[in-house]
A and B are shown apart, each in its own frame.
Chain A
């Protein structure tokens, strides 16, 4: 497999070096593999820390900055970062108002953030709360699985709660808002091709030329099933229907519609998908108030896309529109 890398071992290190070089408004703690705002902890503001395996860029490091995260911990490709990294990030961003951990629901991420919170509690100085994001309707949320995975809603949540922290909402309010956003968001993804984890060097899974995987995860985890690839309109229906079926009504609030590339799917196809999503929502009587289209939570070079809908009341929409200045999202500044 061809990759633009020095070696599989250096992929994350090299990417972090590039982040630091390209974005002087960010600081990278290379030892702990944490991306931080160069301006340091903000006194009186809740610190937002997220993180996860690398390979989903721009998430999470690309969402560090004004109006979004204070720190992002980078793990190896598709591997959770470790508690000592999260602990370093937590201490670095604490401005006296506590720290919120934003954790995607994967077994490793949850366990490592849990250990980090235990370490923080043992040291006793920083109050840490956490929210676990689990918006992927491809997985049945049951006692017999690890539960729904955290996917597209993570991006929307980091933006909305980031704005709330910026306007000095306290830790309890930020936690409550984060849980509300997660509860009101649902996602579904699909893949046309597999990604290749650099350390493995071979595709994570094989798909025939005429097949796609419906309900794919962002690490190439298989989804609900494999189907023959039909036209875009058919695929869009398969993505949006289960999302709408599971989406809370939330008093008929409008939605933020997020159409995401898994990394390898170009914008021309993504906009085609967005047109289908908009038409399906209109037919279902769901009003789209805002949209986001692009590669924001990716799976290396995987071709494919995901659709996320978030019921957004006036407060959430106002927070969505608030200024944000990060490498990955930037508006209103």
Chain B
């Protein structure tokens, strides 16, 4: 059974930053269609700062790692994504605690606390065309895998596998939260940029934990 080790989780943060940098233009293009066109640049700046903070000050446990990452995102991303991704990381770290590894159930609980923080901060529900539309069902899939006996890596893979479909399923929705909601019906037909960056978040988690 493979746990989510501190090294694996730190690798997740680095992989997430790399994926965001690679997809920056695409994320910004999605945001230009239904938002204000800065999601890619804001997330790249924030996740690069997370990596810089890791390089400068290696965290000693999971709580320290995600508290540092969360505060860095809150301070550097701005917009709505800063408080949302920041709150996700902060709650994840607090729930995980000062440990050096999480088993599958511990990982599921920490991620779930992160999701609850996002929902509380953004007051978004499923179907509002936000990052919650990928994160919430993604974590449901992860929980199901854990219940069926999967280890942390396999459970994360279950969440990641469904993410692109969930992301694409935001396209026909009418936005009810965030700047896209000003568009009303005109927001339909475009993928939500937050759901796209959250897809990268789940995919990079699976990639990081899947490495030996």
Contact = CB atoms under 8 A, between A and B. Distances in A.
A107 B38 contact: no
Interface in A63-105: 75-84
Given A79-B38, A107-B177, A221-B179, 8 more contacts: A77-B38, A83-B83, A108-B79, A111-B122, A112-B78, A199-B41, A217-B179, A221-B36
Nearest to A75: B78
Name the residue among B78, B84, B176 with the largest chain A CB count within 10 angstroms. Answer: B78
B126 interface: no
A200 B28 contact: yes
A146 interface: yes
Nearest to B73: A82
27 contacts: A53-B79, A76-B42, A77-B38, A79-B38, A79-B78, A79-B79, A80-B78, A80-B82, A82-B76, A82-B77, A107-B80, A111-B80, A111-B84, A111-B121, A111-B122, A114-B83, A139-B182, A145-B182, A146-B177, A146-B178, A146-B181, A149-B182, A199-B41, A202-B32, A217-B179, A221-B183, A222-B183
B38 A199 contact: yes
Nearest to A216: B182
Contacts, number: 101
Contact of B79 (A80, A146, A200): A80
Nearest to B33: A205
Contact of A115 (B83, B181, B183): B83
A78 B36 contact: yes
A-B pairs, top 3 by smallest CB distance, nearest first, are A108-B80, A79-B78, A108-B79
A197 interface: yes
B75 A82 contact: yes
B74 interface: yes
Interface string B43-63: 000000000000000000000
Contact of A221 (B74, B121, B122, B182): B182
B184 interface: yes
B164 interface: no
A1 to B, nearest CB: 13
B36 A144 contact: no
A144 B75 contact: no
A145 B184 contact: yes
B42 A79 contact: yes
Given A108-B82, A222-B182, A200 B177 contact: no
B40 to A, nearest CB: 9
Nearest to B31: A200
A145 B176 contact: yes
Interface string A128-170: 0000000000111000111001000000000000000000000
Contacts of A82: 74-78, 82
Main secondary structure of the interface of A (DSSP, over half): loop
A140 to B, nearest CB: 8
Interface of B: 28, 32, 35-38, 41-42, 74-84, 121-122, 176-179, 181-184, 186
Interface in A170-186: none
A50 B36 CA distance: 21
Contacts of A115: 74, 83
Nearest to B83: A111
A219 B79 CA distance: 12
Contacts of B81: 108
A108 B35 CA distance: 12
Given A108-B83, A111-B80, A84 B38 contact: no
Contacts of A204: 32, 36-37
A144 B181 CA distance: 8
B122 A84 contact: no
Nearest to A146: B181
Interface string A204-220: 11000000000001011
B41 A219 contact: no
Name the residue among B36, B41, B122 with the largest chain A CB count within 10 angstroms. Answer: B36
Contact of A222 (B75, B83, B122, B186): B186
A53 B79 CA distance: 8
B30 to A, nearest CB: 12
A104 to B, nearest CB: 12
Contacts of B32: 200, 202, 204-205
A34 B183 CA distance: 32
A10 to B, nearest CB: 13
Nearest to A77: B38
Nearest to A217: B182
Contacts of B74: 82-84, 115
